Amino acid sequence: MYYEMRTYTIKVGHMKQYLDHFEKFGLPVISKYARLVGWWYTDIGELNQVIHIWEYESLDDRKQKREALYEDAEWVNDFIPKAFPMLEKQESKIMYAADFSPIK
């Protein structure tokens, strides 16, 4: 399995609005293409961040599913126009589970 950790920095004052929008419009759509492993937001340390991890069978699987997501009308029309203006920056990391990891 391959895991993608995405970290988004949300503009100050928009965290609740972003979380609500993602839960209502983003999660139902993206869940058609990837399995959510976990979703967090920060309270100590670097603030205004959401961190989520998605599971994929392979890098090719990720590529195909991300392409399908960006062709999904609900994602493009209902989620992106409102969500993206609330973001300061995005970071994506592909992670590989160690043999001894509880999540493989």
Sequence spans of domains, the chain: 2-95
Q: What are phi and psi of 3, to 5 degrees?
A: -125, 135
Segment 2-31, tens digit of pLDDT: 999 999 999 999 999 999 999 999 999 999
- For residues 75 and 29, is the Cβ–Cβ distance under 8 A? yes
Q: What angle do CA 18, 24, 25 make, to 5 degrees?
A: 85
The CATH classification number of 2-95 equals 3.30.70.100
- For residues 48 and 42, is the Cβ–Cβ distance under 8 A? yes
| Per-residue pLDDT at 103 | 84
| Per-residue pLDDT at 1 | 87
Q: Cα 29 vs. chain centroid, distance in angstroms? A: 11
Segment 62-91, tens digit of pLDDT: 999 999 999 999 999 999 999 999 999 999
